[in-house]
Structure 1
Amino acid sequence: MPSASPHVRGPLIRRVALLSMHTSPLAQPGTGDAGGMNVFVLQTARQLARRGIEVEIFTRATESSRDPLEEEEPGVRVRHILAGPLEGLNKYDLPQELCSFAHGVMQVEARHGAGYFDLIHSHYWLSGQVGRIASQLWQVPLVHTFHTVAAVKNASLAEGDTPEPQNRLVAEHKIAASATRLTANTPAEKQELVDMLGARAQRIDVIPPGADLSLFSPGGPGATEVARRELGLPLEDQIIAFVGRIQRLKAPDVLIDATAELLRRHPDRYLTVVIVGGPSGSGLDAPTVLQEQVARLGIEAHVKFFRPMPPEKLVQVFRAADVVAVPSHNESFGLVALEAQACGTPVVATNVGGLPLAVDDGVSGLLVDGHDPLHWADVLGRVLDDDALRFALAVAASRHAANFSWSRTGSKLVDCYRRARDNYYGPSLS
């Protein structure tokens, strides 16, 4: 709550400072630290702007070629704050740059003048710490979205992966206690915030992400053939696609092992696996680990690697595939699963995190318990070899995805902001 009397601007949400320190919403998802959070930040900012709320996104500068201030679309501005070297840092190095980033954010607000921003929305634990400071100094509400929680990640680590550090665990408890409101992607995540961070359930809004349904769509008759030709993929093969950062958390190695098992069972199977993404996190230590695994298993002829792609080309990957695999050890939601289904492609995903909401098990896709490659081969083989099942899942997939749009996400976020305003200032008459 504010220490002084409520601001006269309190009843209105006109301008929002959106903090995304460790990754820019303008970065290409699929490599480095860029992923679903980038998409969420940019798409929700656009939705807010289209509802008359101006958004300024603060992110750490990582490219000298970018202007310090960019207008992404009317009402959405992205500020690149100089905090540490432009290159050579990963997100585990960034806590030491928090003070520099916070200073840059405060300088911008000071140039605007007191009372410019009506609310702060921080994303991920690094930004949440800056959000706590800004909320206190500016005396405005703070909404925070964790995207991932350290305690949850540590409980579901892939073998050989590095646990999240203690300073993150401590910081997330503090953010949960001090934020005006929190958002969660799913009811399950909301419960995790309550159980693991002691967050107050009545101050948490469940706001599922969406998909750009105007872009991600089945594409009509012949779309699969067109997509395969564009990507240079064999027209007659069964195709499994994986889209995401190459790191242990995303478990692409499980898909590779399952592919080898499918080919062992049926050596004459026409099968191609498409891997779209770049190394990230723990994957940076061994950027060619998947290629080495493929070579060791002797299945090079069946696996094609692609660099991360922009959304308009990623659509073609989803349309080209018979099934999209999401074998992650944890996902707060799983945007790839949703976007694939929006293209009418069934998904086989791990039964973890937000994936049971993103995928309607047995209807739009299939969920797999655990990461046993033999079990994954069973489920993937079932979808590939049962034409009736695959067709039914494909038809239901686009219907299921239609329940998740960015417009709906934006409306829920505006409602959250209004509740945050009322929590902070008291009920409004506006």
Structure 2
Amino acid sequence: MRIAMISMHTSPLEQPGSGDAGGMNVYVLNTATHLARQGVEVDIYTRATRPSQGEVVEVEENLRVINIVAGPYEGLAKEALPTQLAAFAGGIVLFGKCHDLDYDLIHSHYWLSGQVGWLLRDLWEAPLVHTAHTLAAVKNAYRSADDSPESEARRICEQQLVDNADLLVVNTHEETNDLVQHYDADPEHVVVVSPGADTELFTPGNDRATERSRRELGVPLHAKVVAFIGRLQEFKGPQVLIRAVAELLAREPDRNLRVLICGGPSGAHATPEQYLDLARDLGVERRIRFLEPRPPEELVSVYRAADIIAVPSYNESFGLVAMEAQSTGTPVIAARVGGLPIAVAEGETGLLVDGHGVGDWADAIAQLLDDDDTRIRMGEDAVGHAASFSWSASATQLASVYSEALSIEIPDCHGRRASGR
């Protein structure tokens, strides 16, 4: 089986945690890697953002990333990417012709890629599987008051994909409900495939490893540490954590608390300074350390250095950060939104908070920081919980979805229907 994956707006090889690179990058790279190891040939098409990338990157056997030139390498905002859909699609078609490629199936990620996949589906007469990762209607329903709404144009494009893709893959049953409620999707065309965690990389550390991680990060060894890992944007909620920490320290100024915020700005108007300024305005800048995004093998140290990982997002399709944290043995406090109630076993591997009220988050953080026995027990249980989610299992599920999609009849140019290859 040869699969064309499409991830137009961000390359799976980019560093997650800043710009447009995040959980989707982790998802695409890991599912593709494990599909390739199971014998599926995977080509991932993405938009070239610098000439040094080269046209083709051989990641490993059966897996390569193909960089398509569409618009300028740099300086093109995500909001302007729809202007390059035709150029990107044309680049994929040309590459396929020049290399005599024949794909059995297309799997698109995010709505921009889905629009390209929809075109290629009819051109190549190959079924289209689409994963939205996030949805405009859902983001608008859950966004914070200060966050910019998603455009109606995006919502319309997503509706087209729901109506035309052969199968839709989602992370949780909650996402299925979102598609049905907001986009009138047919539940029979939606398949749940749970994401995973790299349980071989994200492993618990012993006391010595934790001490080493804290020394490397400049964190006091005996402080209680709360960490946030992700893109710095309102939707991910770093401001919620900063305000909750300020509230906690206002209650108890002598509390030995430190906060790590690891990530880069994301979005047209996002800057790291706005979060630095917020911490400064609230008088907690000395308690918070901002870290640049880092590759997974270095991110392990941040997870291990923390007593708690906070995930105060306004919505998450699943919550990969929460799963990676638990895999390292660190309990999670997360918002009760999206797929996070599935990623976090409430009361067993962490706590879930209703809403984003500052007092509620301060209470939850204090509750877990002050109860050492419960926190340690949750960390131990978290490892087993995370072990039940693996990328290998996700890839196996996806391969089954692909086989199902290949049996679906696809209309040809005369309106006749024939099954996929």
TM bucket (normalised to shorter chain) is: over 0.9
Contact 2:307 2:330 in 1 (8 A): yes
Distance apart, 1:287 and its partner CA: 3.4
d(CA) in 1 for partners of 2:142, 2:273: 24
Contact 2:4 2:103 in 1 (8 A): yes
One-letter identity of the residue aligned with 2:219: L
Distance apart, 1:230 and its partner CA: 2.1
Pairs within 5 Å for 1:62-101: 62-101=49-88
d(CA) in 2 for partners of 1:165, 1:293: 28
- Asked if residue 51 in structure 1 is aligned to residue 44 in structure 2, the reply is no
Q: What is the Cα-based RMSD across aligned positions, in Å?
A: 1.6
Residue of structure 1 aligned with 2:241, choices 241, 247, 255: 255
- Asked if residue 294 in structure 1 is aligned to residue 292 in structure 2, the reply is no
One-letter identity of the residue aligned with 2:121: S
Deviation track 1:342-380 (CA, whole Å, cap 9, x = no partner) reads 000000000001101110111111000011111100000
TM-score, normalised to structure 1, is 0.94
Matched position secondary structure for 1:128: helix
**2:385 is matched with which residue?**
400
Distance apart, 1:202 and its partner CA: 1.0
d(CA) in 2 for partners of 1:328, 1:283: 18
Distance apart, 1:427 and its partner CA: 11
**2:4 is matched with which residue?**
17
TM-score, normalised to structure 2, is 0.96
**1:360 is matched with which residue?**
345
**1:168 is matched with which residue?**
154
d(CA) in 2 for partners of 1:169, 1:379: 35
Deviation track 1:108-166 (CA, whole Å, cap 9, x = no partner) reads 1212336x110000000000000000000000110000000110001111112111111
d(CA) in 1 for partners of 2:57, 2:396: 25
Gap regions ≥5 residues in structure 1 = 1-13
d(CA) in 2 for partners of 1:56, 1:140: 15
One-letter identity of the residue aligned with 1:95: P
Residue of structure 2 aligned with 1:27, choices 14, 27, 50: 14
- Asked if residue 409 in structure 1 is aligned to residue 401 in structure 2, the reply is no
d(CA) in 2 for partners of 1:164, 1:234: 41
**1:143 is matched with which residue?**
129
One-letter identity of the residue aligned with 2:354: D
Instruction: Decide whether aligned partners of structure 1 residues 427 and 212 sit closer, same or farther in structure 2, where only a CA change above 3 A counts.
Output: farther
**2:108 is matched with which residue?**
122
d(CA) in 1 for partners of 2:363, 2:153: 41
Deviation track 1:71-91 (CA, whole Å, cap 9, x = no partner) reads 011111111111111111222
d(CA) in 1 for partners of 2:269, 2:228: 16
Distance apart, 1:424 and its partner CA: 3.2
**1:8 is matched with which residue?**
none
d(CA) in 1 for partners of 2:148, 2:72: 24
Provide the identity percentage.
52
Aligned length in residues: 415
d(CA) in 2 for partners of 1:340, 1:282: 28
Matched position secondary structure for 1:93: helix
Distance apart, 1:282 and its partner CA: 4.9
Distance apart, 1:220 and its partner CA: 3.2
Instruction: Decide whether aligned partners of structure 1 residues 250 and 282 sit closer, same or farther in structure 2, where only a CA change above 3 A counts.
Output: farther
Contact 1:209 1:405 in 2 (8 A): yes
**2:414 is matched with which residue?**
none
d(CA) in 2 for partners of 1:202, 1:24: 31
**1:10 is matched with which residue?**
none
Distance apart, 1:219 and its partner CA: 2.4
Contact 2:17 2:229 in 1 (8 A): yes
**1:185 is matched with which residue?**
171
Residue of structure 2 aligned with 1:38, choices 5, 8, 25: 25
d(CA) in 2 for partners of 1:203, 1:402: 29
Contact 2:77 2:268 in 1 (8 A): no
d(CA) in 2 for partners of 1:204, 1:424: 16
d(CA) in 1 for partners of 2:207, 2:246: 32
Gap regions ≥5 residues in structure 2 = 411-416
Distance apart, 1:249 and its partner CA: 0.3
Residue of structure 2 aligned with 1:372, choices 338, 357, 368: 357
Residue of structure 1 aligned with 2:250, choices 243, 249, 264: 264
